[in-house]
Homo-oligomer: A and B are copies of this chain.
Amino acid sequence: MNTSNVKKLDWKAGTLLNPVPVVMVACVGEGQNEKPNIITLAWAGTINSNPPMLSVSIRKERHSHGIISKTGEFTVNLVTKGLAWAADYCGVKSGRDVDKFKEMQLTAVAGADVRAPYIMESPVSMECRVTQVIELGSHDMFLAEILCTHVNADLVDAAGALQLENAGLVCYNHGQYQVVGGKLGFYGFSVRKKKVIKREKK
């Protein structure tokens, strides 16, 4: 790449790591008649492979922050193009004011390992239990272990492999929701050819 014409601007610190995931996090309070709630988050990600763990960061003032702080349980539900409108609504509105499952016509399915429900309309859901909470300033980060997953059967091919590139997942890019697009190659594609050549030489 010719970089002789690249002009850089030196800016102050900002949250410019992009793209980031968009996930709908579902939870429910401890009372018997509590309505489940959903909060959409982009400050979320995988943090460990073994055991499988993820983190979600939530502002202290959010309704779901209080619920998850008490119960230590939530589900993470992936967002498709068809769910983008509902995801945005669940990120902007508060569960103190509206029943988001009802307003967005989403279906709460009882979790297997946690009391928090997962979202039927999401193609992939993960049940999670909090292991640690870290106060960072504007947000508290909830570290959580993934206990089990629920996957749409139509995304699994005949060999049993999950074809997640067919789900039309959505990411968040500097304030804009964008669909995940064209495929560039699988992990390791840059060295695969060399390996094949080496193998042939043997």
Residues of A participating in the B interface, judged by any CB pair closer than 8 Å? 1, 3, 6-21, 23, 42-55, 57, 76, 78, 81-82, 84-86, 88-89, 91-93, 105, 107, 109, 112, 120-121, 124, 126, 132, 134, 136-139, 141, 143, 145-154, 156, 162, 164-165, 169-191
Contact = CB atoms under 8 A, between A and B. Distances in A.
B46 A9 contact: no
A174 B179 contact: no
A146 B13 contact: yes
A158 to B, nearest CB: 14
B20 A21 contact: yes
B184 A148 contact: no
B178 A126 contact: no
A176 B183 contact: yes
B52 A13 contact: yes
A175 B150 contact: no
B184 A181 contact: no
A180 B173 contact: yes
Given A149-B14, A150-B11, A55 B47 contact: yes
A136 B146 CA distance: 13
A184 B8 contact: no
Nearest to A50: B138
B88 A171 contact: no
Contact of A137 (B50, B153, B165, B169): B50
A77 to B, nearest CB: 10
Nearest to A162: B174
7 contacts: A15-B48, A16-B78, A16-B151, A45-B55, A89-B190, A91-B187, A177-B186
Contacts of A153: 7-9
A178 B170 CA distance: 12
Contacts of A185: 84, 88, 176-177
A98 to B, nearest CB: 11
- Residue of A45, A81, A126, A165 with highest tally of chain B CB at under 10 A: A45
